[in-house]
Amino acid sequence: NAGVTQTPKFQVLKTGQSMTLQCAQDMNHEYMSWYRQDPGMGLRLIHYSVGAGITDQGEVPNGYNVSRSTTEDFPLRLLSAAPSQTSVYFCASSQTFWLREKDNEQFFGPGTRLTVL
């Protein structure tokens, strides 16, 4: 298993440009999520999905869109990049969303480092 993969590893954008950060997992996990991490800070939840076709907002959703057309993929779209979106973005997945699964740990990808000029 490759686990959770993210592309690209690094990206530089100009203000106003759009782009899509890719995330894929090969573990047949239902739950996927996106976080951002600013320097010296913990991770903050942007959006999450409990299964194909279902998405919802996290703590900091403004400026980002997501979709979940397949179980494997969960892309994050920046419609009009702003300098405030300069951050490291992490994608994560877990078997299910629901706490009934005792060992429902999240697996994180390696991150995408985004700079918006």
Partner 1 sequence: DAKTTQPTSMDCAEGRAANLPCNHSTISGNEYVYWYRQIHSQGPQYIIHGLKNNETNEMASLIITEDRKSSTLILPHATLRDTAVYYCIVRVPPGNQFYFGTGTSLTVIP
What are the residues binding partner 1 (CB under 8 A)?
Answer: 4, 31, 33, 35, 40-45, 48, 50, 58-59, 88, 90, 92, 94, 96-99, 104-111, 113
Comparing CB distances to partner 1, the nearer of 41 and 79 is 41
- CA–CA dist 73, 45 (Å, integer): 17
- At residue 62, what is the residue type? N
Q: How far is the CB of 66 from partner 1 (least distance, A)?
A: 15
State how far Cα 107 lies from the chain centre.
12
Comparing CB distances to partner 1, the nearer of 21 and 80 is 21
Comparing CB distances to partner 1, the nearer of 15 and 57 is 57
Query: Residue 104: helix, strand or coil by DSSP?
Result: coil
Comparing CB distances to partner 1, the nearer of 48 and 74 is 48
Q: How far is the CB of 16 from partner 1 (least distance, A)?
A: 27
Q: How far is the CB of 11 from partner 1 (least distance, A)?
A: 15
State how far Cα 98 lies from the chain centre.
19
Q: How far is the CB of 3 from partner 1 (least distance, A)?
A: 9
Q: What is the 3-state secondary structure (H, E, C) of 15-64?
A: CCCCEEEEEEECCCCCEEEEEEECCCCCEEEEEEEEECCEEEECCCCCCE
